[in-house]
Amino acid sequence: MRVIDIINANKAKDRPTVSFEVFPPKTTVNFDNVMKATGEIAKLQPDFMSVTYGAGGGTSDFTVSVAENIKNCGVTPLVHLTCVSSTQADVARQIEKIKNSGMENILALRGDIPDGSPFPENAQFKYASQLIREIKKHGDFCIGGACYPEKHPEAPTFADDIRHIKEKVDAGCDFLTTQMFFDNNILYNYLYKIREAGITIPVVAGIMPVTNAKQTERICKISGNFLPQRFKLITDKFGSCPDSMKQAGIAYATEQIIDLLANGVSCIHIYCMNSPDVARKIKENLSYII
């Protein structure tokens, strides 16, 4: 099923849309473990599950296999696709692979420029909006794009970044998924700004349950996220005890989700880092809500 149809059908019934994000194995060594974990997460019957593609601008041979497994478990897959380090022929091959597997949802991304590298001026795809236009040539896909409530780190200003998000929408993006954020007010302000800019498509709020303190450092380095004092106190207090940190991180994410739903944000995407346990606990915490 198309993700946008799922979102609209849930909205019509005043029901939230809840999805989980998983990532493929880097090598065959971890393949079985990832398949098992993603299969277990699929058993929780989220509205859809997204599967990332490579990292640092790289590609991934296993994204489609993991997505096929999710589909076989009866859950709609959303396949991520990046473009900055690919040629038009590479991208075309990957889109055809997705189409031939009977999948109709793609999250179209530029991908990160590897640390320290200059912007690849000769790249065939420089921006996700170009990828969206390319995907459209290959068929009637439902296409998602990324957005950044704290601004994409490379964008000179918020206004520039929002103008570029609008370009993705104009290119045919059906919905947006946000980068993670730890203070809901950041999202509420962002939604106000993008709606003012004429962006009216659904926005899926990305929530990361932080279950170990190291993760926090990495996230902040990559995304430059603002960490509220309340969040910092939790990681300072519980960061050295893995079980406590996991419980506190899941509770924090749960509270964020409840606040979002109460404020009318009805699409929630949970970055569950391939952990069936984290996905299950969040669902249990919200069993009368989602």
Residue 189 sits at φ, ψ, to 5 deg, of: -65, -40
**Closest C-alpha among 226, 149, 162, 161 to residue 189:** 149
Closer to ligand FAD by Cβ: residue 164 or 280? 164
How far is Cα 245 from Cα 234, in angstroms, rounded to an integer?
8
The active-site residue out of 21, 104, 134, 150 is: 21
Count Cβ atoms within 10 A of the Cβ of residue 233 and give its class: 0-12 exposed, 13-18 middle, 19 or more buried. Answer: exposed
How far is Cα 204 from Cα 269, in angstroms, rounded to an integer?
6
One-letter amino acid identity for 268? Answer: I
Closer to ligand FAD by Cβ: residue 141 or 238? 141
| Beta strands in the chain, from DSSP E residues, in sequence order | 17-22, 48-51, 76-82, 105-109, 142-147, 175-178, 203-207, 267-271
Minimal distance, residue 28 CB to ligand FAD, in Å: 20
Closer to ligand FAD by Cβ: residue 52 or 86? 52
Residues found near ligand FAD in the complex (CB under 6 A): 52-55, 80, 82, 109-112, 127-129, 146, 152, 154-155, 160-161, 164, 167-168, 177, 179, 206
Beta bridge partners of 267: 17
> Burial letters for 124-149: b for 16+ Cβ neighbours within 10 Å, e otherwise?
bbeebbbbbbbbeeeeebbbbbbbbb
Minimal distance, residue 265 CB to ligand FAD, in Å: 15
150 is catalytic: no
Tokens of 135: 């995907």
Minimal distance, residue 111 CB to ligand FAD, in Å: 4
Closer to ligand FAD by Cβ: residue 245 or 270? 270
235 in Cβ contact with 210 (< 8 Å): yes
Minimal distance, residue 242 CB to ligand FAD, in Å: 26
Minimal distance, residue 156 CB to ligand FAD, in Å: 8
Closer to ligand FAD by Cβ: residue 134 or 238? 134
Annotated catalytic sites, by residue?
Answer: 21
